[in-house]
Every structure is written in C-alpha cells, then in structure tokens.
Amino acid sequence: MSEGQKLVDLLHRALPQTQCTKCGYPDCRAYAQALADHEALHNQCPPGGAEGITRLAKILGREDLSLNPANGIERPRPVAWINPKECIGCTLCIQACPVDAIIGASKQMHVVLEDWCTGCDLCVPPCPVDCITMKPITGEQTGWDAWTNTQADASLERYELRKKRLLREEADNQARLAKKAQAKLKELSVDQEDPIAQADAERKRAIIAAAIARAQAQLKKDPPN
C-alpha cells in the first residue's frame, strides 16, 4: 500500500461514517481522498464536530479550525422517525438511506431501524408527504460524544454491503435486459421483398445490438455474484 493510500485510510477511519454527504462529497471515503489531495479542508464534517476536526488536523499536521457553517452545525445525534399514519410506502426513503436502516415495501408502511440509523438526514428531502422527522436521542452530547468508533465501524460495514448489493442488483438487471434483447433480436423477421420493412428491421437490429453490447460491457465490469 502506498503512503498516499495509507493517509487516505487513516483519514477515512477518523470520520464517523454517517455517509451524510454534508462535507460536499458523496461519502466519507471520497472526503478522505479530497483531504489527502489537499482539495478540501478538515472542518467540513458536522457529524464529527469539533473532536472530528481535531482528529483530522492531527493526522494532516494542520491547525484546528472551527466547523464550517456552510456544511452544517454540530448537534445531538438524531435518528429518523416515520409517521405511520402519513407514510404512503413510496420507498424513496429506502432508496436514499446509505446504510439500509429503513425497511418496508412498496405501498406498505416503512420503519426505521434506530440502532442502524446514522442521522444523515438523506431520507428527509425525497419524502413526498413530509412524514419523516429527525429526532435527537443523545441529549446534549454532540459530535463524537454522541457517536462511537464501534458504531462508525458498523455503519461503514453496512454502507459497503449496500454498495455491493446495488452493484449485484444492477448486474442482474443488465443480464435480464441482455437476455430479453437477444430474444427480441431472434424474433425480428421481415418480408425480404419489402425494402422499407428491411431498412426498418435493420435499424431495430442495430438498436437491439447496441443495447446488448452495453449490457454485456456492464456485466464484464460488474459481474453478478
């Protein structure tokens, strides 16, 4: 492992793994990479709070900073709560949760697994009926005082498992599409004496062949497990 990668890993482990994107990056590892590359400051993680900034500063050999208010505020750790009377079962919050802390099915009430919820807030914006509330559960404790390394490790594991699941589901979907396209291609036949029909058939074959090629390329990149 290179020294640069070791630095990224150290920074990544110093982050709370809420995967909230408040730092301005898609996840904690992306923020750690940006820190190592000197593309971001170490005061952009509200869930880590002042203690988190100190941890990052020590690793980077930089001075302590105040949390950048543009990224949010340090606060007691919340968990999401879904109002059962208002939930319409749209599944948008399930899709938004980075750690699979919300369970439910289409047109059925959803429930939050409080022990898994990182308080990231990402489930709130997509809810079309505003039935999700973020409720603080740690009293006056904020930042790392409201979160532990054990919880961070568990959150990271669930996040990584979710990413693998999504890749597997996408690969499976691409495989189904490729199989369907192959079947369509075999079914495509026209009157050989009709030049217009032949031209239209060739156009359709080209479209289907391109779809098959894309699906096969995706399968090679992310094969199903």
Residues of the chain scoring pLDDT < 50: 224-225
> What's the confidence (pLDDT) of residue 122?
98
Helices (H), ranges, the chain? 3-13, 28-36, 49-60, 92-96, 149-187, 195-221
Q: How many helices (H) and strands (E) does the chain have?
A: 6, 4
Could you tell me the CATH number of the domain that includes residue 36? 1.10.15.40
> How many domains is the chain partitioned into structurally?
3
> What's the confidence (pLDDT) of residue 165?
92
> What's the confidence (pLDDT) of residue 210?
74
pLDDT digits (tens, 9 = 90+) for 161-203: 999 999 888 887 777 777 776 676 666 555 555 666 666 667 7
> Same domain for 67 and 80?
no
> What's the confidence (pLDDT) of residue 112?
96
Q: The domain containing residue 138 runs over which residues?
A: 75-147
